Copies of this chain bind each other. A is one copy, B any other.
Amino acid sequence: MFVESGMRKHALLYGLIAGVLIAVLKAIEYRWLVIEYSVEIYGSLVASVFAGLGIWLGLRLTRHKQRVVVREVRVSVPVDFVRDQVKQESLGITPRELEILELIAAGLSNKGIAARLHVSENTVKTHSSRVFDKLGARRRTQAVQLGRELRLIP
């Protein structure tokens, strides 16, 4: 809308100036002609004036054309964790085992995990042993590291 009205305004202005110029030229043509200036000079004058106007209009038409360049800016933003459920299932890790792994990663002891989940410590040890086996880990710290690498825990 704005661009259209702007262009229309330019066109109107251009036509107006052209008309006025033609009128002026017509008004003074006799005077110039009678003092023996040839028509080619007259033509050159008109040509140069309108060429200038055309150039001006052309510049005006493209002045606001902008080229948008999209630049990727690397910005440090915490990556929101998405669990790799495919890998979880391919390893055969059960939800409960993953739950124990998360609590291990949180730094809890087996006893603490047992208390948190209201199960016996033996149960926690069973789950952790199983998840260690499935991850190929021998220590809980190693299990945490592998779980992170495999995107099973944040």
Contacts and interface: CB of A to CB of B under 8 A. Distances in A.
Interface of A: 14, 18, 21-22, 25-26, 29, 33, 39-40, 42-44, 46-63, 65-80, 104-109, 137-146
A73 B76 contact: no
B58 A54 contact: yes
Given A51-B51, A69-B69, A75-B76, 20 more contacts: A18-B47, A25-B40, A47-B47, A48-B50, A52-B54, A54-B54, A54-B58, A55-B57, A58-B59, A58-B61, A58-B62, A67-B67, A68-B69, A73-B75, A74-B75, A78-B79, A105-B145, A107-B141, A109-B138, A109-B139
A43 B42 CA distance: 8
A101 to B, nearest CB: 11
Nearest to A14: B51
A141 to B, nearest CB: 5
Given A29-B39, A48-B50, A137 B79 contact: no
Contact of A43 (B25, B61, B76): B25
B137 A107 contact: yes
